[in-house]
Amino acid sequence: MRTAKRLIGHYICYYAAVGVYLPFLPLFLAGTGLDSVRTGFLLALGPLTSMLAQVLWGNFADRHNRRKEYLVVAVAGTALVCIFLGLGRGIVGLAVVLFFYALFYSAIAPLTDSLALTILRDTRDFGSFRRWGSLGFGVMAAAGGLLFSYLPLKYFGFVAGSLYGLALLWTLSLPNPRGLKQAPAAGFPLRSVLSTPEVPALLAIVVLVMIPYNAYTSFLGWHLQTLGASRAWVGLAWTIAALSEVPVFGWGKSWLKRVPARKLITVGAGVYALRWLAYAFIPSYPVIVAAQITQSVSFALFYLAVVEYLASLVPPQLQSSAQGLLQAVTFGLSAIIGAAGGGWLLKAANWQALYLSMAALTGAAALGVRYLKKTGGGSPCHDLQER
């Protein structure tokens, strides 16, 4: 079996599990009777753990040149913890389970992306593989919406854990980057990444964009249900968003050849700002669900351009550290502020105030991209091997 097919299988199964976990965790927590502040706290706990864990996973993976080994441990640990998620009782019990979930889960995305960037000939091909993750997410979000219309939400952790177990089988079949004869990074790789020009500025822009995005992912299901949507509609909303990403990731290479990554970052952030502004004034959940198609030009385009821009700044032996740092900022620091801040703002004000604040932050990020300098093309990596 070709390496490309193995990587595609891993992306599909991994994001299929996320397609069950991410949309329905907030609904599961809300079903326990917790208010928006306590729900926001629990949703922020995972990112808080991930923020440090992702950096350490990526740093040691680069330092010891053991990306696949660390990825296998992370996927296996996530599967085991996720299966027992429904056993958590009370805010303390749930906090403990979510902590251990985040400890393992936080390593999967950065190690998967760095593994893909390592074995690809051209990093601009990354989107053609990442799109399969969006497909897996979208299909399972829709299936989850239908499944949990009949199955109690307390079982969603078991369903997601089973999908992580399936992803583990594909992970075991992936090539080992050690076989590509890439030298381990010396010293403390994260320090080298942070000292690279433009990286701090890029991360600041990512924070401004992803705080609103993480508030959205934390409370979208809740928002739709307050407007009268069923769980099936919530699943459909996530499905439309995820499937809309597929063509953008697929066409990403051709766009990155013609348009500088930093300009695509500006476009993605600008669409995000308009999206949140629209959500602030839309009173109908079917319209919001339909508007989820804008995920294609906001999240997919923004994320693809950021990964490419970052990959062009650092050498191959630092990719795990760089992607781990990006994930820590994207779904760690930003998620903490987005979940906790969003929960507080909802209790203090209303949904409109939340979305208007989100639009303001993202608009500021779009304006700030002009301060990023131009970079070269995709960083040359190893050929896509067949094993």
Give tens-digit pLDDT for 128-173.
777 888 888 888 888 887 888 788 887 888 888 899 999 999 888 8
Q: Over the stretch 326-337, which tens digit does the pLDDT of each residue have?
A: 877 887 788 888
Domain-embedded: residue 381: no
- The pLDDT mean for the chain works out to 81
Q: Which letter does DSSP use for residue 314 in this model?
A: S
Domain-embedded: residue 60: yes
The two three-digit tokens of residue 14, written as one number: 């991994």
Q: Quote the pLDDT of residue 58.
A: 65
Show the domain range for 150. 3-178+187-371
User: How would residue 181 be classed by pLDDT, with cut points 50, 70 and 90?
Assistant: very low
Q: Quote the pLDDT of residue 328.
A: 78
Domain-embedded: residue 383: no
Indicate whether 274 pLDDT > 90: yes
- CATH number of the domain that residue 246 is part of: 1.20.1250.20
Domain-embedded: residue 336: yes
The two three-digit tokens of residue 274, written as one number: 């308009």
Q: Over the stretch 315-366, which tens digit does the pLDDT of each residue have?
A: 777 777 787 788 778 877 888 888 778 888 888 878 999 999 999 999 999 9
Q: Quote the pLDDT of residue 180.
A: 47
Q: Quote the pLDDT of residue 146.
A: 82
Domain-embedded: residue 384: no
Half-sphere exposure of 4 (CA within 13 A, CB side): 11
| Closest of 112, 61, 55 to residue 307, by C-alpha | 112
Domain-embedded: residue 386: no
Higher pLDDT, 367 or 126: 367
Calpha distance 234→244 (Å, rounded): 16
Q: Quote the pLDDT of residue 245.
A: 86
For the entire predicted model, the pTM comes to 0.70
The two three-digit tokens of residue 358, written as one number: 């989100």
3-class secondary-structure state, position 374: coil
% of the chain residues with pLDDT over 90: 21
Residues 6+ apart with CB under 8 A from 94: 29, 32, 42, 88
Calpha distance 220→211 (Å, rounded): 14
Domain-embedded: residue 382: no
Domain-embedded: residue 158: yes
235, 146 contact by CB (below 8 A) = yes
Burial of 40 (0-12, 13-18, 19+ CB in 10 A): buried
Higher pLDDT, 289 or 231: 289
Calpha distance 96→102 (Å, rounded): 10
Q: Over the stretch 16-39, which tens digit does the pLDDT of each residue have?
A: 998 888 888 877 877 777 776 777
- The 3-state DSSP composition of the chain as helix, strand, coil percent (nearest 5) reads 85, 0, 15
Total of domains in the chain: 1
Q: Over the stretch 187-240, which tens digit does the pLDDT of each residue have?
A: 566 677 877 878 888 999 999 999 999 899 888 888 898 899 887 888 889 889
| Closest of 186, 206, 236 to residue 362, by C-alpha | 206
Mean pLDDT of 102-108: 86
% of the chain residues with pLDDT over 70: 87
Mean pLDDT of 278-305: 91
Q: Quote the pLDDT of residue 374.
A: 66
Q: Quote the pLDDT of residue 269.
A: 93
